[in-house]
Amino acid sequence: MIIRSFEPQDFARLTELTIETFGPFYEESFRPLVGEVVFARQHGRWREDYRTLLATLHTPEHGKHVAVADLDGAIAGYVGWEIDPTRERGTIGILAVDPHHRRDHLATDLCEHAFGHMRDHGARYVEIGTGGDEFHGPARELYESLGCVKLPVAVYFREL
């Protein structure tokens, strides 16, 4: 496996991987939890939202970067991060790994790659967010294994 910088021809695979990775959260976890009204307004266009987001993730001139895990020419995962030099902070905004390669340490390797890049470009700490639900349990385990400290936060939704 090599970890390399995003290339424009990666866009279609990253979009497919993102939708495959996060679809179960939106459709099987979030939607049933909050109901149709909140779901439709909060994340009803989640696929389109990801397509829009992914198009803006890799803009190095603005401190935004994407690296992909390339296994023999196939993308098995990716990480997106940005650096805020004024706060000396790096932020991992998205991390996705193909289901066939989860628990193979790809996510660890991708995060460590991003951490190294952040350090090399002046970041002194990193922020990573994830959900507190069952779907995001593996992400919390990963981040804690990387030495990240969990900040308890509660977010509530209610249909009016």
CATH number, domain at 116? Answer: 3.40.630.30
Residue 128: strand pairing partners:
92
pTM of the entire predicted model? 0.93
User: Residue 80 sits in which domain range?
Assistant: 2-145
- Cα 67 from Cα 80, distance rounded (Å): 7
Is 157 part of a structural domain of the chain?
no
Structural domain includes residue 112: yes
Q: Tell whether the model's pLDDT for residue 155 goes beyond 90.
A: no
Nearest C-alpha neighbor of 93 from the set 78, 73, 79: 79
For residue 158, is it within any domain? no
Convert the pLDDT of each residue in 23-71 to its tens digit: 999 999 999 999 999 999 999 999 999 999 999 999 999 999 999 999 9
Q: Which residue has the tokens 């990666």?
A: 10
CA nearest 63: which of 127, 126, 8, 117? 117
Burial class (CB in 10 A: 0-12, 13-18, 19+), 68: buried
pLDDT at 157 (0 to 100): 86
Q: Domain count for the chain, please give it.
A: 1
Q: What is the pLDDT of residues 81-130, one digit of tens each?
A: 999 999 999 999 999 999 999 888 999 999 999 999 999 999 999 999 99
